[in-house]
A and B are shown apart, each in its own frame.
Chain A
Amino acid sequence: MGPRSKDLSLLQVENNVEDDADDVIDDASEEEESESEQEDVKLMEPSKTAIYNREGLVEKLEDISWPENVDWMHKLCLDIDQEKEVDVNDDLARELAFYTQALEGTRLAFDKFQSMGLPFLRPPDYYAEMVKTDAHMQKVKGKLLAQKRQIEEAEERRKAREAKRIAKEVQAEKLKERAKQKKQEIEEVKKWRKQRQQSGFKDGKDSMPDLGFEDGKAFERSSKKRPGVSPGDRSGGKAKQGGGKGNNKNKKNREFRDSKFGFGGKKGMKKQNTAETTNDFRAFNKGGAAGNKKRKR
Chain B
Amino acid sequence: MGKKRKHSETQTAEPRKKDEGAPERPKRTLMGWKDKDEVSQQTESTPDSPQVFRNKEKVMVTCSRRINYRYRHLMLNMVSLLPHCKKDNKVESRSSKGATLNELIELRGCSSALFFECRKHQDLYMWMARCPNGPSVKFLVNAVHTMEELKLTGNHLKGSRPLLTFSSNFEKDAHWKLLKEMIIQIFGTPKEHRKSKPYHDHVFVFSIVDDHIWFRNYQISVPHNESDKMVRGGLDKMTLVEVGPRFCLNPIKIFAGSFGGPTLYENPFYVSPNQIRALEKRKKAGKYAKKVKAKTRRKMHEQSNPLEPDEFADMWRE
Contact = CB atoms under 8 A, between A and B. Distances in A.
Residue of A113, A128, A144 with most chain B CB atoms under a 10 A cut-off: A128
B280 to A, nearest CB: 6
A86 B265 contact: no
Given A39-B276, A129-B157, A131-B156, A76 B53 contact: no
A75 B171 CA distance: 16
Given A76-B163, A98-B216, A60 B240 contact: no
Contact of A130 (B55, B157, B265): B157
A229 interface: no
Contacts of A203: none
Contacts of B280: 36
B1 A132 contact: no
Interface residues of A, number: 92
Interface string A20-31: 000101001010
Contacts, number: 281
Contacts of B134: 60, 63-64
Given A121-B200, A132-B155, A139-B150, A60 B164 contact: no
A51 B264 contact: yes
Given A67-B53, A102-B240, A140-B150, A61 B168 contact: no
Contacts of B157: 122, 128-131
A50 B240 contact: no
Contacts of A56: 256, 262, 264
Contact of A9 (B10, B158, B216, B269): B269
A57 B266 contact: no
A132 B200 contact: no
B292 interface: no
Interface string A101-115: 111111101100110
A297 interface: no
Contacts of B250: 40
B153 interface: yes
Interface in A107-148: 107, 109-110, 113-114, 116, 118-124, 126-132, 136-137, 139-140, 143-144
Given A2-B143, A57-B254, A77-B184, A130 B158 contact: yes
A97 interface: yes
Question: Could you tell me the dominant secondary structure of chain A's interface residues?
Answer: loop
A29 to B, nearest CB: 11
A239 interface: no
Contacts of B209: 86, 88, 94, 97
Contacts of B207: 82, 97-98, 101
Contact of B142 (A3, A42, A68, A74): A3
B200 A120 contact: yes
B229 interface: yes
Interface stretch (B20-28, B38-46, B305-313): B38-46
Given A32-B279, A51-B263, A78-B163, A69 B170 contact: no
B236 to A, nearest CB: 10
Nearest to A17: B268
A107 B39 contact: no
Interface in A31-63: 32, 34, 36, 39-43, 46-47, 49-54, 56-58, 60-63
A19 to B, nearest CB: 13
A43 B250 CA distance: 13
17 contacts: A1-B142, A14-B173, A34-B279, A39-B273, A39-B276, A47-B268, A60-B134, A66-B45, A69-B53, A81-B167, A82-B168, A88-B209, A102-B218, A106-B163, A110-B235, A119-B229, A128-B3
